[in-house]
Amino acid sequence: MTERAAATWLFEQQWRKRLNPGADVSSPHFFKIIFPFVLAEKKLRIPRDFVKKFGHELSNGAQLTVPDGSVWQVALTRKGKDIWFHYGWEDFVESYSISAGYFLFFSYEKNSTFHIIIFNLDACEVDYLYVGEESMKDEQNSDPENEKSVEHVEQQSRKRKMEEVAEMDEPNSDNNFNLSVVLKKMGIYVTPRYRRFSAEESKRAISFARIVQPKNSSFMVILEQHFKSCRDVYCPIKFAAKFVKKDSKYVKVQISNEVKESIELQWKPKGGFFLTRGWAKISRVKNLKEGDICIFELIRKQDLLFKLSVFHSMLE
């Protein structure tokens, strides 16, 4: 058995032990060795063989789950036939003190979700809780003078990449922050009720919009506290009036490159419509929950085909 084959076998055995009882051990998987250049690039390329088989299923953002129960949202960037874990990846690496020589084992759980097991330089799985506690201690015990250093400022700014992107369009006064105005500049419509969202919630929504970067007119839905699988997904009046004929009864929603679902519309008397019959199925497939953000991009006007992008919340 070659060294590479032996390493693969070892990590597969460890991975299987970490799975919950009854879990599918045949899930697609791959491992990556962390080289110095990977840390320098601040992103991680997904193996091309994996991309060939499953790249069409991946959205613009991935969800990474770790054995300690943490869930990380990381943007995916594409160039040609390659896909990278990008924005948000560096924060993940820093949080678990991943260094050159570490092995990461990825199990693909569908819906752009990956389960990750981290192995250190001794080929032993890291103590996730210990790593997290050490990170917190480092922050608490940091020297105030060091916090003023350029290095510290750069580290803090990297951890806030997503928020900083949103802040570029934020008015000077937090009280005047208006999500709909900012998103409208990006060609994304939202219902006016989102104006009551906090600045932090609004920044998260704008960050996701910048990751997706829709090329066509779109509308955004933020699943709120009383979210149910249907009748809670509402298309804003202004978007509906401009892009959807009032006599339209159905739209199509693309949830992957190959899967499209037909959804029935229920119009409101004053305009705008709900996605009804057919939406519950998409909700189950995409595992939508309270706090998730959905962007519907109108990629084909003739038959009202929307591309769905989802950003999963970290709320329990």
Question: What is the per-residue DSSP string for 267-291?
Answer: E-TTS-EEE-TTHHHHHHHTT--TT
pTM above 0.75, yes or no: no
Q: How confident is the model at residue 227 (pLDDT cuts 50, 70, 90)?
A: low
Window from 91-105, 157-171, 190-204, 235-249 with minimum mean pLDDT: 157-171
Identical fold between 3-140 and 164-311: yes
How far apart CA 277 and CA 279 sit, in angstroms, is 6
Percent share of the chain, pLDDT over 70:
70
Is residue 63 pLDDT above 80, yes or no? Answer: yes
Using H for helix, E for strand and C for coil, what is the string for 36-52? HHHHHHCCEECCHHHHH
Tokens 């969800």 found at: 63
When pLDDT is averaged across residues 174-198 and rounded to a whole number, the result is: 69
What was the pLDDT predicted at 148? 44
What was the pLDDT predicted at 13? 55
Q: What does the domain layout of the chain look like in residue ranges?
A: 3-140, 164-311
Burial class (CB in 10 A: 0-12, 13-18, 19+), 31: buried
What was the pLDDT predicted at 311? 85
Is residue 133 pLDDT above 60, yes or no? Answer: no
Torsion, Cα of 155, 161, 164, 166 (10° steps): -170
58-62, 153-157, 159-163, 181-185, range with greatest mean pLDDT: 58-62
When pLDDT is averaged across residues 167-180 and rounded to a whole number, the result is: 45
304 vs 142 pLDDT, higher one: 304
**Mean pLDDT over each residue of the chain, to the nearest integer:** 75
Amino acid (1-letter code) at residue 91: D
How far apart CA 146 and CA 165 sit, in angstroms, is 26
Q: How confident is the model at residue 196 (pLDDT cuts 50, 70, 90)?
A: low
Is residue 160 pLDDT above 60, yes or no? Answer: no
DSSP designation for 56: G
- CA-based nearest residue to 48, from 72, 80, 75, 17: 80
Q: Does domain 164-311 have CATH number 2.40.370.10?
A: no
- CA-based nearest residue to 59, from 314, 316, 247, 308: 308
How far apart CA 219 and CA 211 sit, in angstroms, is 15
Burial class (CB in 10 A: 0-12, 13-18, 19+), 190: buried
When pLDDT is averaged across residues 80-85 and rounded to a whole number, the result is: 91
Give the Å distances, CA to CA, from 15 to 11, 69, 230, 285: 6, 15, 36, 25
**Given phi > 0 = left and psi -120 to 50 = alpha, else beta, which region is 310?**
beta
Q: Does domain 3-140 have CATH number 2.40.330.10?
A: yes
What was the pLDDT predicted at 262? 92
How far apart CA 263 and CA 103 sit, in angstroms, is 43
